[in-house]
Structure 1
Amino acid sequence: MYRVIGTVKSRAFRVLWMLEELGQPYELVEAFPRSEEATAHNPLGKIPALVDGDEVLTDSVAIMTYLADKHGGLTAPAGTAARARQDAITLWLIDELDALLWTHSKHTFVLPEKLRLPDISSTLHKEFARNADIFAGMLEQSGDFIMGDHISLPDLLAVHCFGWAFGAEFPALPDSIKAYSKRLRARPAFRAAAGR
């Protein structure tokens, strides 16, 4: 059984949702960043970490990719053009949505107050809104899910980022993204992970 080190209200949620979608058993070990438990599994004190037997894996997207490949779900096969397209969207989401949200968090509550740049928020909000519009356009071309007719890793990542943006009071998302997020958040696997 997998062990997930982290909290539901963190990037660990992505891993929990992935495990639920894949139908894999796991235990959630609640640990906050820089806690003793988190540091025992990642010297940087970051969450999440995934314990799989003797292996300890870190970084939410690396863990998701590992699980998708290992269990053959929510991903295109490695070495295919479809996988390259999926990876391109995944990396774009990390660069253009996740990174903006993380920078906002750092300058809101993570960094010591003297290092924070509160004025950066307006720029981050504008960039996020621009990128959300781009994602909405990609979604319009792709169909029900960002990769077409099946849910995949980038959908989980995108919906988590959009939820994070909502919680951080970023500008309103396009209606198409709201509908997309609502539909994916209604999935039994999402609800099971959120209820942990």
Structure 2
Amino acid sequence: MYTLIGLTKTRTFRVKWALEELGLPYTQLQAAPRSEEAIEYNPSGKVPALIADGATLTDSTAIITFLADKHNGLTLKAGSLGRARQDGFTHMILDEFDSVLWTAARHSFILPEEKRVPEVKESLKWEFARSETTLVAQMGDGPFLMGDEFTIADIILAHCLDWAIGAKFGISQSRLKDYLSNVHTRPAYKTARAD
């Protein structure tokens, strides 16, 4: 049994979705970022955190990688060329999608008002759209990033695409719109989103 700490509307969703995909039992403590409950598990106050075998793990990508490796699902074999390609997608999405969306969020409502630069968001939207084009050029013919196999890279990408829609970045590539519609039909996605 795992304990997941964080609100589903944050990156905690990635971990919740992975737990659902893997069919693992868990409980969720709905702790807001920087709340006393969140700080109890992670001194930075960031969520998600996951309690696993008495240890507290942090960072959504580190957590879902741990879960995938431990439970032999959502990932290709470590040391394989497929895993290297999967990791390449994961890091590209974190660098080119997640970081851009996070910067936009920081300049929208996270930073103190006097530190925000709202004008930066237009260049971030341009950068995001350019990264969409680059990603689509690297995708194969299958329904997922790794062809027919759904992996943690797909969880991160789909979360970022959902985030982009919510942040009014939109999705410029029809291939990614179709991809996201397909991913939204997964039962584990629906269950993780339910609350």
What's the TM-score bracket when you normalise by the shorter of the two chains?
A: over 0.9
Equivalences for residues 149-160 of structure 1 within 5 A: 149-160=148-159
Gaps of 5+ in 1: none
Deviates more, 1:73-82 or 1:154-163: 73-82
Equivalences for residues 14-163 of structure 1 within 5 A: 14-139=14-139, 141-163=140-162
Look up the match of 1:188.
187
CA shift for structure 1 position 142: 4.0
Please say if residues 161 and 171 of structure 2, whose CA atoms lie closer than 8 Å, have aligned partners that are also in contact: no
SS in 2 for 1:11: helix
Please say if residues 17 and 189 of structure 2, whose CA atoms lie closer than 8 Å, have aligned partners that are also in contact: yes
2:192 partner amino acid: A
What is the rounded CA distance, in whole Å, between the counterparts of 1:173 and 1:41 in structure 2?
38
SS in 2 for 1:99: helix
Look up the match of 1:175.
174
Tell me the alpha carbon deviations over residues 79-114 of structure 1, each in whole angstroms, 9 at most, x when there is no partner.
212111111110111000000000000000000000
Deviates more, 1:15-24 or 1:77-86: 77-86
TM value normalised by structure 2 = 0.97
The count of aligned residue pairs is 195
Tell me the alpha carbon deviations over residues 35-78 of structure 1, each in whole angstroms, 9 at most, x when there is no partner.
01100000000000001131100000000100000000010111
CA shift for structure 1 position 133: 1.6
What is the rounded CA distance, in whole Å, between the counterparts of 1:137 and 1:25 in structure 2?
37
CA shift for structure 1 position 175: 1.5
1:116 partner amino acid: R
What is the rounded CA distance, in whole Å, between the counterparts of 1:29 and 1:98 in structure 2?
24
User: Between the two proteins, what is the percent identity of the paired residues?
Assistant: 47
What is the rounded CA distance, in whole Å, between the counterparts of 1:131 and 1:61 in structure 2?
20
1:106 partner amino acid: R
Deviates more, 1:155-164 or 1:169-178: 169-178
Look up the match of 2:163.
164
What is the rounded CA distance, in whole Å, between the counterparts of 1:15 and 1:173 in structure 2?
27
Give RMSD over aligned pairs: 0.9
SS in 2 for 1:47: coil
